[in-house]
Amino acid sequence: MERIKIFIAGRAAKLLILGFSIILILCIDSRLYAQNVTFRAGASTANITPPLGSGIVGNFGIPPPANYVHDELHARSLVLDDGKTKLVFVVVDNVGIIREVFDEAKRLIFEETKIPAAQILMSSDHTHSASSASGLGNLRGGWNAGMPLDDYQRFLVRRIADGVRIALNNLEPARVGWGVGYVNPFGGKDQVQMNPGIANPDLVEPAGPTDPQVSFISVQSLKGRPIGILANYSLHYVGGVPRDHISADYFAVFADRIQELLKADRQDPPFVGIMSNGTSGDVNNINFRGPAEKHEPYAKMRIVANDVANEVLRVYQTIQYKDWVPLRAAQSELNLKVRRPDSEMLAYAQKVLAKPETETPVHRLEKTYAERTIQMNKWPENVNVIMQTFGIGELGVAAIPFEVFTEIGLEIKAKSPFKPSFTIELANGSYGYLPTPEQHQVGGYETWLGTNKVEKEASRKIVTEILKLFNQVKP
């Protein structure tokens, strides 16, 4: 019996030594790999401006035709390459793009570059002054599975794929760094109200927190020439755009301003500044507690973009760059229940739509939401949505296909194994607002059926899934 014990103990010791040896070899191999490969980065822009006459979406009512282009719309791309894995970011100037468009663009990119879809993160920045990429007419924002893409959607697919290929062509030896700055945004019967109006006597307190962090990834050539910056800030959009103007809002102003601040103009290849939207589903920068502000068109977005760009510059000057970091990606499909109207809601919606135009509405948006209620009844019982995470050294990036409430993003940051980390919303699809279960209890525009499309517990499931994926890609 004693011999057996000794034999087992001896065998266990050998296995333990073998395990340590494998770990040591892997560590040495990882370091040697990092020493023998070159980290590379490339960036690009691809023009996606729709033609004049296209309907501008982002507001309620019939989309007005575009009569003027204030600034061109773009798909901005950043590609990172650690010698083994490529990660692709694409941020598109649009209010929200359905999964089918992004999926087709990823299919084309894989066909032409062999980069897997799980390593491609595509998102909308949520400008409210662009044409629809989610279908036309009654199909817009609805269930589009199996529907053929329209002309503008096909144009987007091609230009997004072109932009990624241009960024790949621009790959060069690079070093990478990241930073975090701070910029403060303002921020039955519903107990809460979105955009309640200045000096509203019923105003008690903000319904949720804000996230003042502006996070960013910076890549430079080995000689220090700026290649690109991908920033992330949790602010819905700014607006102040005439209804018939095409504009990429403050996202484009930031891109232009950060280039100016870095003295990166007229480079070859061009520097690319990118602003992605963070978890800002319930955050804008209107100070409802203060006096009403008056700005000329486009003036306020310049103020916001300048504030954010200056903070990025301040932190940028302190970054410790790395010559190489490992890149990782993880992706899953999360099945969520779709919210469906009951028979009473459907009957009420049909009654609203049958009202004559001369009858005074109970609510100015009642017909809009009656249409959405009937539309939601045609959705399937469940929907699969893409969850995605990237690991860039010690930096983590999450991607969620909703307009995400800020407190959800803050929870992910607090629980993430990556420090720092940030979340890009409206990524890999667009399924409406994502409130918390608690927010559903108090109501508000973001919780209404048609604005919110999935089960009330969705945010809890999404946070759990994102943290699981983060653990798959952590260093």
> In a structure prediction context, what are the per-residue pLDDT tens digits for the chain, which is 475 residues long?
444 444 445 555 555 555 555 555 445 455 545 567 899 999 999 999 999 999 999 887 789 999 999 999 999 999 999 999 999 999 999 999 999 999 999 999 999 999 999 999 999 999 999 999 988 654 555 556 668 999 999 999 999 999 999 999 999 999 999 999 999 764 343 343 444 444 444 444 454 578 999 999 999 999 999 999 999 999 989 999 999 999 999 999 999 999 999 999 999 999 999 999 999 988 765 554 456 678 999 999 999 999 999 999 999 999 999 999 999 999 999 999 999 998 888 888 888 888 888 888 878 888 888 888 888 888 899 999 999 999 999 999 999 999 999 999 999 999 999 999 999 999 999 999 999 999 999 888 889 888 899 999 999 999 999 999 999 999 8
* Angstrom distance (rounded) from CA 289 to CA 273: 33
Residue 336 in any domain: the answer is no
E strand or H helix that includes residue 299: helix 299-316
Residue 382 in any domain: the answer is no
- What pLDDT sits at residue 19? 54
Residue 345 in any domain: the answer is yes
- What pLDDT sits at residue 31? 54
Domain containing residue 353: 341-376
* Angstrom distance (rounded) from CA 373 to CA 343: 11
Residues 205 and 146 in one domain: yes
- What pLDDT sits at residue 374? 87
Domain boundary residue, one of 376, 401, 435: 376
Residues 286 and 360 in one domain: no
E strand or H helix that includes residue 416: none
Which pair of tokens denotes residue 307?
A: 């504030």
- What pLDDT sits at residue 240? 94
Residues 265 and 301 in one domain: yes
Domain boundary residue, one of 351, 376, 401: 376
Residues 186 and 88 in one domain: yes
Q: Tell whether the torsion through CA atoms of 454, 459, 460 and 462 is positive or negative.
A: positive
Residues 356 and 320 in one domain: no
* Angstrom distance (rounded) from CA 473 to CA 158: 30
**8 Å CB contact between 390 and 340:** no
* Angstrom distance (rounded) from CA 152 to CA 63: 15
Residue 219 in any domain: the answer is yes
- What pLDDT sits at residue 208? 58
Cis peptide bond prior to 420, omega within 30° of 0? yes
Q: 392 vs 78, 86, 315, 379, CA distance in Å?
A: 13, 11, 18, 37
Residues 215 and 357 in one domain: no
Cβ of 425: how many Cβ atoms within 10 Å? 31
Nearest in space to 246 (alpha carbons), one of 63, 429, 425: 63
E strand or H helix that includes residue 361: none
Nearest in space to 239 (alpha carbons), one of 184, 172, 298, 309: 298
Residue 466 in any domain: the answer is no
Cα 431–Cα 127–Cα 129 angle in degrees, nearest 5: 115
Which pair of tokens denotes residue 143?
A: 């269930």
Residue 417 in any domain: the answer is no
* Angstrom distance (rounded) from CA 126 to CA 143: 20
Residues 309 and 353 in one domain: no
Domain boundary residue, one of 261, 295, 325: 325
Looking at the 3D structure of the chain, how many domains does it have?
2
Residue 28 in any domain: the answer is no
Q: Which residues pair with 390 in a beta bridge?
A: 329, 397
* Angstrom distance (rounded) from CA 370 to CA 377: 11
Residues 132 and 171 in one domain: yes
Residues 220 and 295 in one domain: yes
Residues 299 and 360 in one domain: no
Backbone angles phi, psi at 11, to 5 degrees: -65, -40
- What pLDDT sits at residue 373? 87
**8 Å CB contact between 452 and 405:** no
Residue 120 in any domain: the answer is yes
Residues 277 and 134 in one domain: yes
- What pLDDT sits at residue 444? 85
| Single-letter amino acid, residue 195 | N
Cα 46–Cα 52–Cα 56 angle in degrees, nearest 5: 85
Residues 318 and 358 in one domain: no
What pTM, to 2 d.p., does this model score? Answer: 0.88
Secondary structure (DSSP) of 150-206: -HHHHHHHHHHHHHHHHHHHT-EEEEEEEEEEE-PPP----S--SS--TT-TT--S-
Residue that is written with structure tokens 């990624």 in the block:
164
